[in-house]
Amino acid sequence: MKIIKQKMYKSNSHTNGVKGITYLAHTINHEIGSYQEHFINENYNFTVKLSNGEIVMSIKIAQDYEAQPSSVAYDRYEIVADTFRKTE
């Protein structure tokens, strides 16, 4: 099996939104660790490096959270929680 490494670029944009969505995803999956930093990946989403793995979220969900946290529906951050990949 060939492993393809994505190009990612460190980002400081929408940090409050990324951290907020990371916290909400943690309330669904308690295995999700704490926020470390985030990157823009090749699909123009955020890949979030955690203390024990990573999650992926759209830039839009981070923007929406920053604009109005209560506007982000449960099913949207449930999708983020489902992207959790634990670091070996």
CB 48 within 8 A of CB 4: no
The torsion of the CA quartet 74, 20, 30, 11, rounded to 10 degrees, works out to 120
Instruction: Report the predicted TM-score, pTM, of the whole model to 2 decimal places.
Output: 0.90
Asked, for residue 25, whether it belongs to a domain, the answer is yes
Residue 5's pLDDT is 57
- Decide: helix, strand or coil at residue 37: strand
Q: What is the pLDDT of residues 30-85, one digit of tens each?
A: 999 999 999 999 999 999 999 999 999 999 999 999 999 999 999 999 999 999 99
Asked, for residue 1, whether it belongs to a domain, the answer is no
Residue 6's pLDDT is 64
Residue 1's pLDDT is 43
Cα–Cα distance, 18 to 14 (Å, whole number): 6
Residue 83's pLDDT is 98
Boundaries of domain holding 45:
9-86
pLDDT at residue 10 greater than cutoff 90: yes
Exposure on the CB side of residue 30, measured as CA atoms within 13 A: 0
Backbone angles phi, psi at 35, to 5 degrees: -60, 135
Q: Considering its fold, how many domains does the chain have in total? A: 1
